[in-house]
Amino acid sequence: MTDEAVGDGVGELPLREIDDRLVLSVPADESAIELTHELVARLWMRHTHVPDDVRMRYEMGLIEILANVVEHAFAADGSGAADGSGGSGAVGGRRVLVTLAVNPTAAVARLEDNGVPADLDLSQVAMPDEDSESGRGLAMALAALTELTFSRDAGRNTWDLRCDLS
Amino acid sequence: MTQFHVETHDGVGVVRPEGRLNMVAARQLKATLADLVEAGTHRIVVDLEATTFIDSSGLGALIGGVKSTRQQGGDLRIARPTEAVVSVLDLTNLSKILRPRDDVAGAFDD
């Protein structure tokens, strides 16, 4: 997408205008995945009207994108591109900011990380053959979500996810 | 965290992941399946009754198990998937290679 963000980088999703959004800032490692599952569970406790199939698709898309972010963070360390802040072991100070919310029409999420630039074209993503053991993540996220966009700006990768309620 | 129960009955290995089958748990599942195959158990049922979530890495571990067991003349079959798992199988067009069976005991009846 073309990033329409202005000012504080809100973009087309007014996430930061939603009062009861849930926010998590954690090292971009595997522990972020379990913590995000827990955050999603808390989101549904607050928004009990969200239908089951929307919950499933939202969590599926979110976890696939987060797994992608975590893998890129590890890849950055392997190439010696850590930013020197160290401290958190394998991920070299790379963090991910997870923001979740439900607005009147959709469950939305934003993932922001300071990992290596993700060079990808979502329009080229396709579901691999059935006997493939990997490469399915982004295709699953695209299939599960109503909209998925990615942008790279000022050293941050930003993923915006939307799953319409109906 | 995800737990795995592993049993072997009459030469059939039964693996039961409890909880979420995500990136972290998928690595454990992959190792569990590899250990079974290496130990000579080439027919494996993965009982998904208590698997509340599966992601692409969990699917990858299952597909890997299908391939490694078939190479030995066996197979890996899944049983009793939850609604969440069924919807992922449908979404990924994997319902054929991972056709869900209704119960664990009868998973190798056909």
ipTM score for this prediction: 0.90
Report the alpha-carbon distance of residue A162 to residue A8 in Å, rounded: 20
What pLDDT was estimated at residue A84? 42
Of B1, B55, B59, the CB nearest to A67: B55
Give the whole-number percent of chain B exceeding pLDDT 90: 90
What is the dihedral sign for C-alpha A3, A7, A11, A12? negative
Q: What are the residues whose beta carbons fall under 8 Å from the beta carbon of A79, sequence distance 6 or more?
A: A116
Indicate which of B23, B51, B54, B68 best probes the interface with A, i.e. most A CBs within 10 Å of its own CB: B23
pLDDT one-digit tens code per residue, B2-11: 888 999 988 9
If you measure CA to CA, which chain A residue comes closest to B94?
A130
Tell me the whole-structure pTM to 2 decimals.
0.85
What pLDDT was estimated at residue B41? 97
Q: What are the residues whose beta carbons fall under 8 Å from the beta carbon of A131, sequence distance 6 or more?
A: B63, B66, B67, B97
Report the alpha-carbon distance of residue A138 to residue A125 in Å, rounded: 7
Residue A73 scores a pLDDT above 80: no
Asked whether the beta carbons of residue B24 and residue A144 sit closer than 8 angstroms, the reply is no
Residue B13 scores a pLDDT above 80: yes
The pLDDT confidence band at residue A57, using thresholds 50, 70 and 90, is: very high
Distance of CA A128 to the CA centre of its chain: 21
Q: Which residue has the tokens 């693996």?
A: B15
User: Alpha helices of A81-154 — where are they, by DSSP H?
Assistant: 137-144
